[in-house]
Amino acid sequence: MDKKINKSIMILIAPFFFFILSFQYKIYPGYLNISAVSAKPNIQVYPGGQPIGVKLNTKGVLVVGLSNLKGTDGKMHNPANDNGVKAGDIIIAINGMEVNTCEEVSKKIKESEGKGLDLTIQRKEAKINKTLVPIKTLEEGKYKIGLWIRDSTAGIGTLTFYHSETGSFGALGHAITDMDTGDILKVREGKIISSSIVSVKKGVRGEPGELRGIFTDENNNLGSIQYNTNCGIFGKCQEQLINKSFNKPMSIAYKNEVKTGKAQVLTTIEGEEPKLYDIEIEETLNQREPGPKSMVIRIIDKRLLNTTGGIIQGMSGSPIIQNNKIVGAVTHVLVNKPDVGYGVYIEWMLKDSGILEK
């Protein structure tokens, strides 16, 4: 008797769930009808992997530190600190005039001859005004306001992709930040130039390694930097950025296509031509917002491990390839595990570059 009852229940349950599912199909066709879902575009880009030199000039002048000054009265002063200026602030104007270089700021202070200066400062998303009175220093006899400032940066990184249809490029996979404040630098102008890797400092536990390179032609502007975001630097090319070894376009993989398992990284550890090295994608993260830490990767290629120890500075931006598709780019290394690091989804980079809609 019990067996018959159970069997009857099972028979009744199946149609009941079928009814519910059918009911949901009618109310939510966008979720369940595959034909109603718009297909994602098949984006193809040329893989990078070659080293690039990066030169960037900031929009405004970045405050990286504060310093006390000994005035002609023999006392210590700090006009900037006393008036609430902080490291990480960006000075965008003095007395209503735009400033973008350290020289422009110094000139304004000198011309003040000790009179008050009205500073317009960008602090995060807010604009604020500060009035400072420069102090004449005892030792140098010059007017100063007690700030350390910076207006540019330069270094070596790796190209991720070149998109021939739009003439766009992407590199690094993470933002260029100030070494002192950690803030993302706002771009006024910047460029990428040819570079070559001349030596390698091998990474070890607790001490990141480094690719050491040189700018091979500073006068040859390969591309202009337009955006500096959490997911890399992006801009327009002056010429086609296609390397000799990997000179055919590849499809990109969207973040839902990236799987754990075997993959390869395309990077350069000597000269200017990239090579493929084996890695493992150990974990993929379900990111809702763009960010440079999308997947956990491990270097398993003995050639790369013997030379670099794993992921090292300068490899940022190296394309990650899986199943003949570009899935992302190398971004970070774990200091205590140099063979392990992070990568960013290529989808995030394409959105920040403007190739894909956000």
Per-residue pLDDT of the chain (358 residues; tens, 9 = 90+): 343 333 333 323 233 222 222 223 232 333 333 334 457 899 999 999 999 999 999 999 999 999 999 999 999 999 999 999 999 999 999 999 999 999 999 999 999 999 999 999 999 889 999 999 999 999 899 999 999 999 999 999 999 999 999 999 999 999 999 888 888 999 999 999 999 999 999 999 999 999 999 999 888 899 999 999 999 999 999 889 999 889 999 999 999 999 999 999 999 999 999 999 999 999 999 999 999 999 999 999 999 999 999 999 999 999 999 999 999 999 999 999 999 999 999 999 999 999 998 8
Q: Could you give phi then psi for residue 67, rounded to 5 degrees?
A: -145, 135
Catalytic residue among 89, 151, 301, 352: 301
What is the pLDDT at residue 38?
54
What DSSP assignment string belongs to 67-128? --EEBTTS-EE-HHHHTT--TT-EEEEETTEE--SHHHHHHHHHHHTT--EEEEEEETTEEE
Of 330, 203, 206, the residue nearest 268 (C-alpha): 330
> Is-catalytic flag, 301?
yes
Report the alpha-carbon distance of residue 158 to residue 85 in Å, rounded: 35
Tell me how far CA of residue 37 lies from CA of 29, 30, 31, in angstroms: 9, 7, 8
Of 98, 117, 88, 84, the residue nearest 186 (C-alpha): 88
Q: Which two tokens stand for residue 324?
A: 């003949």
- In whole angstroms, what separates CA 176 from the centre of its chain? 6
Catalytic residue among 168, 194, 294, 316: 316
What is the pLDDT at residue 182?
86
> Is-catalytic flag, 316?
yes
Report the alpha-carbon distance of residue 278 to residue 262 in Å, rounded: 7
Q: Could you give phi then psi for residue 136, rounded to 5 degrees?
A: -85, 120
What is the pLDDT at residue 159?
98
Question: Model-level pTM?
Answer: 0.83
Q: Give the three-class secondary structure for 142.
A: coil
Top CATH class, 44-57+152-353: mainly beta
Q: Give the three-class secondary structure for 6.
A: helix
**R_g over Cα of the chain:** 27
Q: Which two tokens stand for residue 124?
A: 């995060």
Every domain of the chain and the residues it spans:
44-57+152-353, 68-145
What is the pLDDT at residue 32?
34
> Is-catalytic flag, 77?
no
What is the pLDDT at residue 11?
28
Catalytic residue among 168, 174, 194, 353: 174
Q: Does domain 68-145 have CATH number 3.10.105.10?
A: no
Q: Which two tokens stand for residue 132?
A: 């400072």
